[in-house]
């Protein structure tokens, strides 16, 4: 390892968060038993919030953001990993409470890492990243609560985003009739290329009329919250569930108890941050099988570290499509 390496650093002064790309020494890295040479990180919605200094995502400054990364182990005092191993990290508050992936090196706890799946390379791993892990965790959780491909249609909200795009592709591969809700009608061809069989306009899902609508969905991956979650809840089929993953459209949900007491519906909370290592490995195994490689290529946009800050504004304004990969060495 060279003495210094490139890192994107966030600082705060008088309530203003600034970002700069600096050469820093390895002695500034936080504690951890594994040093990873980072190849790629992702730019998720939460990274957008962190870079823009919003929603108190970052717990202290200076912070290297980047909630996920893939790379190669350079040093390890853990028996689980040795130099040369390729690894992936998603979650655990990295990029929020512990320096993250927007740097050429990261030092982390071995328990947070998983070995890279043999059929996935370092770039593909971040094209999947937190978004793909969250989408698959949502699908597995819905399956555990009875969702089956031969039942009613599956709905994905915020379908053109990172979690949404990957959920559409994986549900379609699993044999579901996937309805993709989006505020971007111009993304119809893209969503159909991922396997969506119908595109639903945002306004059509927003609640209107009574507390219950036609029972349509056999399962919902909701990345938006707010009105989209409320709209999905009033149109779930009997016994079906919503996996609530995100809040890109708002925290507050106006609903009634009727979906729960008249249709036996469930809201399943999805938190991909603290998922134990064994379940994470199982999630990556499922992704390796159930996510078509063509979908990875279609959903991925690669940017250099220097563009991360400007891309953050775009993701917060819902002006990005698919999942963004940050090449920290470009
Ligand atoms: P993206 O920004 O890539 O996708 C979010 C999508 O939501 C947008 O592309 C847009 O889709 C839709 N959207 C955005 N704003 C609105 C709005 N005001 N009203 C309705 N729809 C809107 O984000 P990610 O895919 O990275 O993350 C999605 C959500 O999931 C975020 O809230 C994120 O914080 C959360 N998340 C949660 C995780 C967990 O463990 N629970 C892990 C990862 C992410 P379209 O244009 O197609 O309508």
Specify which residues 236 forms β-bridges with: 217
Same domain assignment for residues 71 and 177: no
Q: What is the mean pLDDT of residues 237-243?
A: 98
Same domain assignment for residues 188 and 308: no
State if residue 318 touches ligand 1 by the CB under 6 angstroms criterion.
Answer: yes
Q: Residue 207 has what pLDDT? A: 94
CA of 157 to the centre of ligand 1 (A): 8
Q: What is the mean pLDDT of residues 61-90?
A: 98
- Written as one string, the DSSP assignment of 3-24 is SEEEEEEEEEETTEEEEEEEEE
Q: What is the mean pLDDT of residues 199-224?
A: 97
Whole-angstrom Cα distance, residue 107 to residue 99?
8
State if residue 311 touches ligand 1 by the CB under 6 angstroms criterion.
Answer: no
Same domain assignment for residues 180 and 209: yes
Q: Is the pLDDT of residue 1 over 70?
A: no
Q: Is residue 309 part of a domain?
A: yes
State if residue 235 touches ligand 1 by the CB under 6 angstroms criterion.
Answer: no
Q: Is residue 165 part of a domain?
A: yes
Q: Residue 219 has what pLDDT? A: 98
Same domain assignment for residues 112 and 137: no
The tokens for 223 are 């990345």
Determine the length of the chain: 330
CA of 230 to the centre of ligand 1 (A): 15
Q: Is residue 283 part of a domain?
A: no
Q: What is the mean pLDDT of residues 148-176?
A: 97
The tokens for 3 are 């003495």
Same domain assignment for residues 110 and 135: no
State if residue 244 touches ligand 1 by the CB under 6 angstroms criterion.
Answer: no
Name the residue of 131, 139, 142, 161 whose CB sits within 8 Å of the most ligand 1 atoms, as the mutation to test its pocket: 161
Question: For residue 146, what are the domain limits?
Answer: 131-269
Q: Is residue 123 part of a domain?
A: no
Q: Which of 168, 176, 157 is nearest to 193 (CA)?
A: 168
Same domain assignment for residues 70 and 152: no
Q: Is residue 122 part of a domain?
A: no
Q: What is the mean pLDDT of residues 8-28?
A: 96
Whole-angstrom Cα distance, residue 237 to residue 104?
48
Does the bond joining 123 to the residue before it have cis omega, within 30 degrees of 0?
no
Q: Is the pLDDT of residue 158 over 80?
A: yes
Q: Is residue 121 part of a domain?
A: no
Same domain assignment for residues 23 and 102: yes
Q: What is the mean pLDDT of residues 323-327?
A: 97
| Residue keyed to tokens 């609640």 | 207
State if residue 162 touches ligand 1 by the CB under 6 angstroms criterion.
Answer: yes
Same domain assignment for residues 199 and 259: yes
Q: Are 326 and 66 in contact (CB under 8 A)?
A: yes
Name the residue of 224, 243, 253, 271 whose CB sits within 8 Å of the most ligand 1 atoms, as the mutation to test its pocket: 224
Domains of the chain: total: 2
Q: Residue 76 has what pLDDT? A: 98
The tokens for 192 are 């159909």
CA of 304 to the centre of ligand 1 (A): 22
List pLDDT tens digits, range 270-321. 999 999 999 999 999 999 999 999 999 999 999 999 999 999 999 999 999 9
| Residue keyed to tokens 């119809």 | 188
Q: Is the pLDDT of residue 3 over 90?
A: no
Same domain assignment for residues 137 and 109: no
Q: Is residue 124 part of a domain?
A: no
Same domain assignment for residues 143 and 166: yes
Same domain assignment for residues 111 and 140: no
């Amino acid at each position: 390892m060279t003495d210094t390496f490139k890192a994107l650093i966030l600082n705060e002064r008088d309530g203003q968060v600034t970002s700069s790309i600096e050469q820093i020494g390895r002695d500034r890295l936080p504690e951890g038993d594994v040093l990873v040479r980072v190849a790629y990180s992702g730019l998720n919605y939460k990274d957008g919030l962190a870079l823009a200094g919003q929603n108190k995502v970052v717990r202290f400054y200076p912070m290297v953001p980047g909630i996920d990364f893939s790379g190669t182990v350079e040093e390890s005092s853990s028996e689980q990993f040795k130099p040369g191993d390729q690894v992936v990290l998603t979650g655990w508050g990295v990029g929020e409470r512990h320096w993250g992936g927007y740097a050429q090196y990261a030092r982390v706890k071995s328990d947070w890492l998983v070995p890279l799946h043999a059929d996935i390379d370092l770039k593909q791993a971040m094209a999947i990243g937190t978004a793909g892990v969250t989408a698959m965790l949502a699908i597995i959780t819905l399956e555990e609560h009875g969702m089956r491909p031969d039942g009613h249609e599956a709905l994905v909200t915020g379908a053109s985003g990172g979690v949404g795009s990957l959920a559409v592709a994986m549900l379609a591969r699993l044999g579901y009739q996937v309805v993709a809700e989006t505020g971007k009608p111009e993304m119809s061809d893209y969503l159909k290329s991922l396997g969506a069989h119908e595109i639903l306009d945002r306004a059509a899902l927003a609640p209107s009329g009574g507390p219950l609508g036609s029972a349509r969905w056999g399962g919902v991956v909701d990345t938006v919250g707010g009105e989209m979650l409320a709209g999905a809840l009033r149109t779930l089929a009997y016994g079906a569930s919503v996996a609530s993953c995100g809040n890109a459209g708002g925290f507050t949900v106006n609903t009634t108890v009727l979906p729960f007491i008249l249709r036996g519906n469930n809201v399943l909370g999805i938190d991909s941050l603290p998922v134990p290592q064994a379940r994470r490995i199982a999630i990556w195994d499922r992704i390796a099988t159930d996510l078509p490689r063509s979908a990875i290529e279609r959903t991925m946009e690669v940017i250099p570290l220097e563009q991360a800050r400007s891309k953050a504004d775009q993701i917060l304004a819902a002006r990005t499509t698919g999942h963004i990969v940050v090449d920290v060495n470009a």
